[in-house]
C-alpha cells in the first residue's frame, strides 16, 4: 500500500462526512438543472466507500469546507514529502531550483 493511501482515504472520508450529501434526492455537488451533472455527481459519490453527510452544507459553506479539507490534505502530503516521489524521482526542493522551462 502506498504511503499516500491513508491520507487520500481520510480526505475522501472527510469530504463525504462533512460535505457530500443529498438534497431532494440530488447530490449537492451537482447542478440540479443538468441531468448530466446529476449523473456524474451520483457516479462519483457511489464510488466513495464512506457515509455521506446527513445535513450537507449548501453553496459557499460547502465550498469553504472543501477548501479547508483540501488544504489539510495538501499540507499533510507536503509535510511528509510524499509529492517528491510523484515527480519522476525528483524531489520538490530540487524542482524549485530548476529554470522554469525545465521544471514543467
> Distances from the Cα of 97 to the Cαs of 34, 43, 92, in angstroms?
45, 41, 9
Angle at 25 between CA 21 and CA 27, to 5 degrees: 35
CA 82, CA 102: separation in Å to the nearest integer? 21
Q: Which residues contact 54 (CB under 8 A, 6 or more apart)?
A: 21
Q: Check pLDDT > 90 for residue 59.
A: no
Asked whether the predicted pLDDT for residue 57 surpasses 70, the reply is yes
Query: Model pTM?
Result: 0.73
Residue 19 binned pLDDT confidence (cut-offs 50, 70, 90): very high
Residue pLDDT, tens place only, 31-52: 999 999 999 999 999 999 999 9
pLDDT at 104: 38
Amino acid at each position: 500500500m502506498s504511503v499516500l493511501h491513508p491520507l487520500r482515504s481520510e480526505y475522501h472520508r472527510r469530504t463525504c462526512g462533512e460535505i457530500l450529501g443529498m438534497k431532494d434526492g440530488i447530490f449537492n455537488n451537482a447542478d440540479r438543472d443538468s441531468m448530466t451533472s446529476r449523473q456524474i455527481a451520483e457516479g462519483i459519490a457511489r464510488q466513495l466507500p464512506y457515509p455521506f453527510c446527513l445535513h450537507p452544507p449548501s453553496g459557499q459553506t460547502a465550498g469553504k469546507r472543501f477548501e479547508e479539507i483540501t488544504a489539510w490534505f495538501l499540507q499533510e502530503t507536503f509535510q511528509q514529502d510524499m509529492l517528491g516521489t510523484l515527480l519522476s524521482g525528483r524531489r520538490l526542493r530540487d524542482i524549485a531550483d530548476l529554470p522554469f522551462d525545465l521544471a514543467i
